[in-house]
Amino acid sequence: MREAIRYLISRWFIWGIGIVLIVVLSLSIMITRQANLSLDEVTNNIVDDASELVLIHVEDYVEPLSLFDTLMMELWDPTMEFEEQSIAIESIARQIVKHYPQIASVQIGDEFGDFVMYRQFENGGTHTKFVKANAPEPQTIWRYFDGDELDYITSEPGTDYDPRVRPWYIGAKANKSLYFTEPYVFFTEQVLGITAASPIYADGELWGVYSFDIRLQDMVDFLDSLDLTANGEAFIVTENRDIISSASIPYFELDPVTNTRKMQTEYWNSIENGVIDVLHHVEVGGEDHLVMYRKVSTGFNKNWLVGVIINTSNFNSKFKINIQFTGVISILILILSAMMFYYKFKENKVRTELINMAKYDQLTTLMNRHSFEEVFKLLVENFRSREQPFSIILGDVDYFKKINDNFGHSVGDEILSELSNQIKLNLRKSDYACRWGGEEFLIVLSNTDHEYACIVADKLRKEIEAFQFKTSVGVIHNTISFGLATYDREYTMLELINIADEKLYQAKDEGRNRIKC
């Protein structure tokens, strides 16, 4: 399988290089034609290409957000306690900030003022910050990680952050959908960025907002690297007059509130009133410059202006600018093409890992609750269309707390991992198993009536009773109790689970290591 993947990657790379060479050759042929273009036409072409390159770069920011939006909406459960749910999704949130360098942090805040933030440091470490505002004794907690291992925890009384007053929270709440702030300088890193935020609803009511801090620094670096001519620079101006680039832009001022460079209001009004797509002259530092703006619609639901400014004082020949322009664009296309093949392959791998983390329990590799909800809907449709009943078996490991108390949680995890393997070995391919929470497991038997489900449950109980759990502290014997329920008439998912849970409670009450049908 690995050889096949390597073969496909090599084929893609060869085709990609071939296409790039054809593009470069075509551009070289166009050099002599471009020598006859006027300065106005050259500048128009530069603005076109700069706009296209900026849009390509912006897509790298926007594409992951749709995936994150889907994952976070599936993962976050407003019915759970805030701190418990925050720790439950901690692993995938840290993977997000680890694998996507443009994501500085992930935040979640609720209507009670509780807040959690997952952030990555420059040295690669990550930490989680909890602000427990809705508690008898408010406090702030930090969880620091070294790699994937929890390193240490600190806390202090009181809170220093209220998400409800932050612009991203207010904007998402008012917009009632995915919302993007205007650029601003992040307080913690002192780099330019924006925040994407989306509301979370529970039973039709606003529960809270989650958001991503997105760095724009590499966008600044990208624009600064676009030496489109010997004397030209590219830059972006947002709807709010913010300038993205460190280039020497005419008529700018520093905003003392956001600490960002803004275009002066008078000049901005003149652009909006007819200077877009029009080449015009401005004086910068006593030298004449040509400036042109092009409006582009980004994935941030914002209309940005891509601008190009060219110093005409040292502009010696049209032929020279065309040669340099074509050469730079050719090199950029070559670099971007090679990077595209590499990063697309890497991104698909990370995307698959994140989706698996969202659907499967990381310890047992069984499905989680969210995946069960999808399976339940599918089986209910089969029941309604084909009258195929299905049964669920809710299991709970007997005396599991004693195992954790006597041997430690790591041994408990070993037991749960081995137990999940035994469950999978004793099920059909058409059946499903998921970790319901803690030491509870849920088994779904498709196209199975109540009588046969009882037979399967008892067989599995006996297999587990006889199994030797090999752990780091030696062999441990353990048992499990089961409660059953069958979907042979219309139930909600919660009603069916409650029936199985009541049966499980009876099995526990009658001595454990038994099933109740």
Would you state the pLDDT for residue 498?
A: 92
Identify the weakest region by mean pLDDT among 184-188, 251-255, 300-304. 300-304
Q: What average pLDDT does the chain have?
A: 79
Per-residue pLDDT at 339 exceeds 70:
no
**One domain, residues 388 and 448:** yes
Would you state the pLDDT for residue 9?
A: 47
Is residue 43 a part of any domain in this protein? Answer: no
Would you state the pLDDT for residue 503?
A: 94
For residues 72 and 119, the answer to whether their CB atoms sit within 8 Å is no
**One domain, residues 113 and 85:** yes
For residues 492 and 499, the answer to whether their CB atoms sit within 8 Å is no
C-alpha closest to that of 25 among 333, 321, 319, 232:
333
Q: Which pair of structure tokens corresponds to residue 321?
A: 């600018």
Q: Output the domain CATH number for residue 203.
A: 3.30.450.20
Is residue 64 a part of any domain in this protein? Answer: no
Percentage of the chain lying above the pLDDT 90 cut = 29
- In this prediction, residues 430-442 reach a mean pLDDT of 91
Per-residue pLDDT at 42 exceeds 70:
no
206: alpha, beta or left? (left if phi > 0; alpha if psi -120 to 50): beta
What are the b/e assignments for 98-111, b being 16+ CB within 10 Å?
A: bbbebbbbbbbbbb
Is residue 305 a part of any domain in this protein? Answer: no
**One domain, residues 427 and 463:** yes
How many other C-beta atoms lie within 10 A of the C-beta of residue 503? 20
Q: Report residue 354: phi and psi, to 5°.
A: -65, -40
Output 153 or 288, whichever has higher pLDDT: 153
Distance CA 243, CA 13 (A): 36
- DSSP string covering 4-64: HHHHHHHHHHHHHHHHHHHHHHHHHHHHHHHTTS-HHHHHHHHHHHHHHHHHHHHHHHHHH
The pLDDT tens digits for 162-183 are 999 999 999 999 988 888 888 8
Output 31 or 243, whichever has higher pLDDT: 243
Identify the weakest region by mean pLDDT among 104-108, 235-239, 307-311, 424-428. 307-311
Would you state the pLDDT for residue 282?
A: 76
248: alpha, beta or left? (left if phi > 0; alpha if psi -120 to 50): beta
The pLDDT tens digits for 462-479 are 999 999 999 999 999 999
Would you state the pLDDT for residue 501?
A: 93
Is residue 90 a part of any domain in this protein? Answer: yes
Cβ-Cβ contacts under 8 Å for 308 (sequence gap 6 or more): 43, 46, 47, 50, 228, 232, 233, 234, 235, 291, 292
Q: Three-state SS for 516?
A: strand
181 DSSP 8-state letter = P
340 DSSP 8-state letter = H
- In this prediction, residues 190-206 reach a mean pLDDT of 85
Distance CA 138, CA 157 (A): 6
Would you state the pLDDT for residue 2?
A: 45
Output 307 or 430, whichever has higher pLDDT: 430
What is the residue range of 152's domain?
81-215
- In this prediction, residues 193-210 reach a mean pLDDT of 87
Output 288 or 124, whichever has higher pLDDT: 288
464 DSSP 8-state letter = H
Residue with tokens 């128009």: 44
Q: How many domains does the chain have?
A: 3
**One domain, residues 350 and 393:** no
Would you state the pLDDT for residue 5?
A: 44
The pLDDT tens digits for 374-415 are 888 888 988 888 888 999 999 999 999 999 899 998 899 999
pTM of the model: 0.55
Is residue 69 a part of any domain in this protein? Answer: no
**Neighbour-count burial of 371, counting CB atoms closer than 10 A to its CB (0-12 exposed, 13-18 middle, 19+ buried):** middle
- In this prediction, residues 329-338 reach a mean pLDDT of 58
Q: Output the domain CATH number for residue 434.
A: 3.30.70.270
- In this prediction, residues 102-108 reach a mean pLDDT of 87
Q: Which pair of structure tokens corresponds to residue 460?
A: 């599995």
The pLDDT tens digits for 346-379 are 656 656 665 666 688 888 889 888 788 888 888 8
Distance CA 186, CA 212 (A): 12
**One domain, residues 507 and 401:** yes
